Amino acid sequence: MELTKIKEFYYLMKLGREFEIRAKQEYMKGNIAGFLHLDIGQEAGSVGSMLAFDKGDIFTHYREHLLAIARGMSIKEVMAELFGKKTGVSKGKGGSMHLFEPKLNFYGGDAIVGGHLPLAVGCAYARKIKGENAGVFVIFGDGATNSGAFFESINNATTQKLPIIFFLENNQYAIGTHITQTSPFKEQYHKVKSFMPTMQVDGMDVIEVYESVIKAKEYIEQGLGPIFIEADTYRYEGHSVADAGKYRSEEELEIYKSRDPINKIRQKGLEIGITEEWFNETDDKIQKEIEEAVEFALNSPEPDESDLYEDFYNLNGKVI
């Protein structure tokens, strides 16, 4: 793995973590309203997958701040969206759960668990009809694998041989319910292995995630149909900021923190010659960027009334 790529991994993962730590603080101050779902602990999956899947369409769940940033969204616009401001990527209408940017082929933040899976499959079908091999990447959590939409999507993608990567972040908890209480097994690839090829990766290792998505992308671009990746990962925070996470032990949490993805890539960087000075300078740069993003959000205007409401039944005076 080249040195510049290791630096990019570290920068984006560290940026994502510091962004979310600050977002949580601003939520507690009342500057961010609604729901706030944090990706802390899962940064390797977000960064590794987005850097590997550099073209095609992205469909995501609502824990998507770092996915959006790694895809290319400005952290100022993402922070402003969390603040509900007009300068946000969705003009303040989406908030934390709905970061949507067609220019980046990023169709993010579906609030319904598993609700975006059929949309991703439909988009992959459109790609196939057009003869395009860029394909679709869809990311979801383990809770979504128990939904009807999941099984319908897996079945349709297989029968139609669609160019789509199904990427499962298995953090073991659907809100506060452990996966073993809702599924006969902890590893969810068992539900899919009769339909398509599957891969199991360490979701706390950004290099492993990156390389697996590269391979999966090459597979779907050859017209071989869909492929499924399951990443074993863990979120340090609760399901949302409102969730204290009392359903799991401190011992369990510490086990996963010992596999921290940011510490892991930092150590890898030191081993191949990246200096402590570079890491310290990067950390300082990130803190400055976070401060600028918060100031941008605080000083941005509220959305106009016309931005918040659009009558889809009477567009341009024409009743639909």
Q: What is the pLDDT of residue 312?
A: 61
Decide: 114 and 142 in contact? Cβ < 8 Å. no
DSSP annotation of 37 reads -
* Predicted pLDDT of residue 132: 87
Neighbours of 240 (CB within 10 A): 17
What pLDDT does 293 receive?
A: 98
How many angstroms separate the CA atoms of 42 and 63, rounded? 10
Q: What is the pLDDT of residue 140?
A: 97
Helix 261-271 / helix 3-29 crossing angle, nearest 10 deg: 150
Round to whole Å and give the CA distance between 287 and 289: 5
CA distance 33 to 31: 7
Question: Where on the phi/psi map is residue 315: left (φ > 0), alpha (ψ -120 to 50), or beta?
Answer: beta
Determine the Cα–Cα distance for residues 206 and 13; give it in Å rounded to an integer: 9
- Residue-level pLDDT at 10: 98
Q: Which residues pair with 47 in a beta bridge?
A: none
- Can you spell out the DSSP letters for 210-265? HHHHHHHHHHHHTT---EEEEEE---SS-SSTT---TTS-HHHHHHHHTT-HHHHH
**Contact criterion met (CB below 8 Å) for 121 and 157:** yes
Quote the pLDDT of residue 309.
Answer: 73
Question: Can you give the pLDDT at residue 308?
Answer: 73
* Residue whose C-alpha is closest to residue 94's, from 75, 113, 107: 107
Give residue 320's identity as a one-letter amino acid code.
I
Q: What is the pTM of this model?
A: 0.93
pLDDT of residue 203: 97
In angstroms, rounded to a whole number, what is the distance separating the alpha carbons of residues 77 and 69? 10
**Which helix (H) or strand (E) segment is 269 a member of?**
helix 261-271
- Residue ranges of the chain with per-residue pLDDT less than 50: 320
